[in-house]
Chain A
Amino acid sequence: MMKGFVTGLFLGVALVWAGAASADEAGTIRLGAAVSLTGKYSSNGAFTRNGYDLAVKRINEEGGVTVAGKTYKLEVVYYDDESTPARGAQLVERLIQQDGVKYLLGPYSSGLTEAIAPVTEKYGVPMVEANGAAVSLFRKGYRYLFAVLSTTDQYLRGAVELAANVNEDPSKLRVAMAFENDPFSQDVREGVMEDAAKFGMKIVIDDKLPPELNDMSATLSKAKVLKPDLLLVSGHDKGAALVVRQLADQRVDVPMLAITHCDSAQIAEKFGKIAEYTLCAAQWASTLKYSDALFGSAADYATLYEETYGHAAPYQAAESSAAVQVFADAFERAGSLEPDAVRDALAETDIKTFYGPVKFDETGKNMSKPTVLFQVQDGKYVVVYPQAFAEAEVRWPTPSWSAR
């Protein structure tokens, strides 16, 4: 009796599970996406999703996508990757096999992209991603992977160059680094190391922040006595908020501070005065002079985003929107919904978007869009580097705390 019950339970469970498949719908193109809605990347995961949704909404409002004379609406099928690569393999199988998705939008975080890319490659499913650009991804010869953003190692290279420009003798510069111990920030570190070596700068602090860290005072105490000329920090939103906060609390004077993720952490809005002078690496800024037919200018995008979601548009959202635009463009040019035709069209992409120009090199990364550095000046994010995009001069050096 009992054993019979157990067998029944096994079978029942298997049946319920098998029934979980779902059907496709005509007239829509379904894009699959894994985003981090829970777990440590959930805030940036939410920005990613907002960006996808906004672009899909706009494209559908404008009549959708026309492929070989037939119009299609776009739709995104979401799953939550729970901020862990352990979900990667299951996710892709679900999207491709169960939901019949033929095109993927990228997840948030390099780790997850690393886990997914080999599988999409195998299935020949084109993936346009906007939030995971570890350099190593583009060394593996993936043919179906396209990234609209600049690779991760680019983030803080600009800061190193800027420091080399404003100082008289770059080889005398002393650099302090505190990077979170995760694939993203460690990749940022690689780029910095390379450039610092090029200029002959000396690394005086090289800390790897654990993701659980909630206090940076050990690193900052070191910075206090070693007096680096440039402090670089990368640790997603939490790292950005912590370093701005604790530099002020501990009154550590550094002439130049450059970090990542400060617009998504909203440091200017949250910290006010103490966030001044902070340099922020970004893939995009709303003040840049890019525009397209769908969203208008970068500033128009920022306004629309803020109206829709109630907070300023971080670059994570902008690049996600751009990824959807790239797909839409490729569908129309391919004139077919065959994944391979779409893939070839993607490879030929050469468009201008509100997010910047998109043109992929043979490894699939966007080679025509630079990263920018902005600085918090009087409570606003102002682009200061590279020179071609700068709206204002960089304010340097940061005065000491006693003088602020």
Chain B
Amino acid sequence: MLDNLLLFFQYPPLAIDVILNGLLIGAIFALAAYGMALVWGVLNIVNVVQGELVVLGGYVTFLLVQSGMPPLLGLPVSAVVMFCVGWLIYRAVIFRVVDKDIFISILATFGLSILIQQLANLLFGSEVRTVDAELGSLHLLGGTVTLAWIKILAFGLALVAGAVLWLFLRHARLGQAIRATAQNPRAARILGIDTDRVYAMTYALNAALCGAAGSLAVMAWTIHPYVGLPYTVRSFMVVVVAGVGNVAGVIAAGLGLGALENAAGFIFGVEFQIAFVFALMVAILVWRNARAARKRSHLQ
């Protein structure tokens, strides 16, 4: 562990490399997490099937490239296809659990996730899949810092998607309806908002964002049917830290998580990378709780 820290001092650009790569990894998590924050905030559903939506998005891009299309075209196509898939999932299952206890929705989406995992295994095969976007890498500081262009693209896209989402929620008609429904679905219904349609659109939008994230994931890394869980868990964590319905918070938390995770993996050894992140999450929750308790006792 100490050796690893020393490396940072011996090769200062290395720290930049680790942190920058972490930020770029975080961008893909952030992209997957926007949707989770939205669905959680609006439908009050913790969408455990998030990671599988990402993986499906990746398969859409993979199949497209297999049939001879350019990889980058996969990005919009995955988003559109997953939008439809999301809408279907809403119509089939999600609308039945919207007004139920949040725990019911966790289990329902967990059921969906193992179902989709095995369906993907049967449909697309269990092999590890990847797509080369042939974008190459960017080299800085004499080659010590190397950033794959596809990850830089992901980073840019995550920022743009965040900004667009923010503007959309603020100014677009549907965006306003989504916010109104999130605040008070009954009042929204009274005002003539078709909340069921808003829910469907929100869920479909979530799936579309996941699709884009999956498309980037298959180009930057690899996918296979059982790789969804890390995405679900990371998105979940990002949303927990950022709070629901907070677009700027999600991007900050996503990037931070990526950088922290990568740095932790570097310093403590990769075998403790995930343990560190989750221990940190538990610590944050405990700390927030303790602070809230102190505040409560002040009020008394």
Contacts and interface: CB of A to CB of B under 8 A. Distances in A.
Given A225-B10, A226-B7, A250-B146, 8 more contacts: A43-B224, A178-B270, A217-B262, A219-B270, A225-B144, A237-B128, A250-B21, A250-B137
A42 B25 contact: no
B266 interface: yes
A249 B146 contact: yes
Given A212-B230, A217-B25, A221-B17, A42 B121 contact: yes
Contacts of A224: 14, 17, 144, 146
User: Do most interface residues of chain B lie in helix, strand or loop, or is the interface mixed?
Assistant: helix
Which among A45, A213, A265 has the greatest number of chain B C-beta atoms within 10 A? Answer: A213
B222 A241 contact: yes
B270 A266 contact: no
Interface in A37-69: 38-40, 42-43, 45-46
Contacts of A241: 128, 130, 222
Interface string B265-278: 11001110110000
Nearest to B223: A214
B176 interface: no
A209 interface: yes
Given A250-B148, A251-B146, A221 B266 contact: yes
A213 B128 CA distance: 13
A270 interface: yes
Given A214-B222, A242-B222, A271-B132, A221 B270 contact: no
A101 B134 CA distance: 52
A94 interface: no
A222 B7 contact: yes
A272 B131 CA distance: 12
7 contacts: A43-B224, A208-B269, A208-B270, A210-B271, A217-B21, A222-B266, A224-B14
B143 to A, nearest CB: 7
Contacts of A215: 21, 25, 221, 262
Interface in A366-394: none
A218 B273 contact: yes
B120 to A, nearest CB: 10
Closest 5 pairs between A and B when the two form their complex, measured CB to CB? A208-B271, A42-B126, A43-B126, A218-B265, A249-B148
Contacts of A46: 125-126
A43 B222 contact: no
A202 interface: no
B226 interface: yes
A252 B220 CA distance: 16
B21 A221 contact: yes
Nearest to B266: A218
A45 B224 CA distance: 14
B207 interface: no
A361 interface: no
Which among B125, B143, B220 has the greatest number of chain A C-beta atoms within 10 A? Answer: B143
Interface residues of B, number: 45
Contact of A207 (B22, B220, B230, B271): B271
A42 B266 contact: no
Given A217-B21, A221-B21, A250-B148, A38 B118 contact: yes
Interface string B17-39: 11001100100000000000000
Interface in B234-278: 262-263, 265-266, 269-271, 273-274
A43 B128 contact: yes
A224 B18 CA distance: 11
A143 B17 CA distance: 53
Interface of B: 4, 7, 10-11, 14, 17-18, 21-22, 25, 117-118, 121, 125-128, 130, 132, 137, 139, 143-144, 146, 148, 150, 217, 220-222, 224-227, 229-230, 262-263, 265-266, 269-271, 273-274
B12 to A, nearest CB: 10
A251 B263 CA distance: 20
B221 A245 contact: yes
Nearest to B18: A221
Contacts of B22: 217
A212 B229 contact: yes
Contact of B14 (A40, A209, A221): A221
Given A42-B126, A43-B127, A210-B271, A225 B7 contact: yes
Interface in A178-225: 178, 181, 207-210, 212-215, 217-219, 221-222, 224-225
Contacts of A271: 130, 132
Contact of B274 (A38, A210, A217): A210
A218 B18 contact: yes
Contacts of A252: 146
Interface in A233-250: 237-238, 240-242, 245-246, 249-250
A225 B11 contact: yes
Contacts of B137: 249-251
B214 to A, nearest CB: 12
A248 to B, nearest CB: 8
A46 B122 CA distance: 11
Contact of B262 (A207, A218, A242, A249): A218
A213 B224 CA distance: 12
Contact of B128 (A209, A222, A238): A238
A376 to B, nearest CB: 16
A332 to B, nearest CB: 35
Contacts of B127: 43, 237, 265-266
A268 to B, nearest CB: 13
B221 A242 contact: yes
B271 A222 contact: no
A181 B272 CA distance: 11
B146 A270 contact: no
Contacts of B273: 210, 213, 218
Interface in A149-163: none
B14 A225 contact: yes
A167 B107 CA distance: 57
B222 A245 contact: yes
A38 B266 contact: no
A46 B121 CA distance: 11
A343 B229 CA distance: 43
B270 to A, nearest CB: 5
A182 to B, nearest CB: 11
